[in-house]
Structure 1
């Protein structure tokens, strides 16, 4: 796992991070990791497949009987 050093954090920011960590019952380092993770991977960031599955469950789903086309295709030519 990677390590990052952050220099020149203002004292007031460091105090606020420590207080926030205390409120969440974490170390300051763990709190900073959580903040960074949430910043790049927001919890509201949902994949389209997840939303479609949820929609299908809400309406009882659908039954698809689709047979795969197994015929051989010709390779593409790029000349």
Structure 2
């Protein structure tokens, strides 16, 4: 197995990693392994797909029609 050393990591980042590892019930090293694994295996998806993923456990009782091709006017641009 390969090893990576990360130098100059902010103390605040290290503390947050430790806190997240504790919340997930594993070591800080395992937390970093999971973060790296997720980052490199993440498939690029659109915003709608990403948003739907956050709410997939909630469920809906109705169908939402897909909206494509709509543009919005930027109120800060001159017409």
Q: TM-score, length-normalised on structure 2?
A: 0.53
Runs of 4+ in 1 over 3 A off after TM superposition: none
**1:19: Cα distance to partner?**
0.1
Give RMSD over aligned pairs. 1.8
User: Secondary structure of the residue that 1:6 maps to in structure 2?
Assistant: coil
Bigger Rg over Cα: 1
Residue ranges of structure 1 left out of the alignment (5+ in a row)? 46-79
Quick check: 1:8 aligned with 2:8?
A: yes
TM-score normalised to structure 1 length: 0.53
1:24 paired to 2:5? no
How many Å separate the matches in 2 of 1:43 and 1:17? 23
Distance 1:24 1:43 in 2: 23
Structure 2 portions without partners, runs of 5+: 46-79
